[in-house]
Amino acid sequence: MDFPILLLGGAVLGLAGVFVRLADVTAGIGPFASAFWRMTFATPILLAWVLLQRRPAPAPAAPVPADGAAPQWHRGRPQPPAPLAHWPTWALALFAAVMFSLDLVFFHVAAIWTEVGSATLESNFAPVLITLAFWGMTRVAPRPAFLAGLAAALGGATLMIGPNFDHSRALLGDCAGLVSAVFYAAYQVGVQQARQRLSTAPLMAMVTGLAALVLLPFALVEGRMWPTAPIGWAWMLGLALLVQIGGQVVIAYAVRRLSPVLSSVGLLVQPAMAVVYAWVLLGEALAPLQLLGAGLVLAGIYVARRSL
């Protein structure tokens, strides 16, 4: 059942950008405020989950992959370094929360300024960035298949961004989507290290609650914190319940017993479904070259992940 659960979580997570755009258009909620409300509404539910468990999480004997776990390299290669392994658990949770907050800041801006599907695809470069970072730290080159996948993904991203070169706002949105991948990659590393010490519920409760505190100043400074129409609260609850709880947390639960290859394939449903949701719900139809680019991005990420 873990793989169907993973697919469901990825499909639900693809709604994130759509909800952010709808909140902005129909209720005047800014991108920083929507990120804040997403974390704020999800936190008490996660804390209730922790209280219902009422038992300490056993320390795993071996690293347990979690949502966004750092990619496992193929056999015969050195294991990737664990640069945060010596950090205390609270510091890992805080680091993950700050990185996730910055990821949401840039991703939510991208979802409003450029196509939702493009923003979601761009943010999914995170696993590729993690592997490149490990390559730099270990000086051990990944397989040629990874480099081929990386080249395909970058070429696809270029095709997707190309039509926006004449539209500064959309181009900045694409840049924000790519920057979000950097922070999401850092978040994944922090969560992967913390997940070896904590089970899903307490870790996600800590990260989500801390992220709400980090995002609060962004939302206050932005000045678009409160919805101008009641429908805005529906979008915020959708972000909290469907995206954060039904997406991020469900995926964190499901991937712990799946192989990295199977998890990588399953998680590609998120950007694919985001393109479909944006087309059906927002009327965002990608141009033929952008569709070709989206296909190259998905294929490139798939090949790159599978080669790990």
- Torsion from C-alpha of 81, 83, 89, 91, nearest 10 degrees: -160
Give domain status of residue 181, yes or no.
yes
| Residue 136: domain span | 2-54+81-306
- pTM of this structure: 0.78
Least Cα distance to 177 among 236, 103, 244, 243 occurs for: 103
Q: What is the dihedral of CA 277, 282, 283, 286, to 10 degrees?
A: -60
Q: Does residue 8 form part of some domain?
A: yes
Distance CA 125, CA 128 (A): 5
269: in domain = yes
Domain-located, residue 270: yes
Report the distance separating Cα 203 and Cα 246, nearest Å. 16
Number of domains in the chain: 1
Q: Does residue 59 fall inside a structural domain?
A: no
Structural domain contains residue 70: no
Per-residue pLDDT tens digits of the chain, which is 308 residues long: 666 777 787 788 889 999 999 999 999 999 999 999 999 999 999 999 889 876 555 555 444 443 334 344 444 444 545 566 678 888 888 999 999 999 999 999 999 998 888 888 888 776 666 666 666 666 666 677 777 877 777 777 777 766 666 677 888 988 898 899 888 888 877 877 787 778 878 888 999 999 999 999 999 999 899 999 999 999 999 999 989 888 777 776 665 665 554 555 556 677 778 888 888 888 887 777 777 877 887 787 777 666 65
In a domain, 31, yes or no: yes
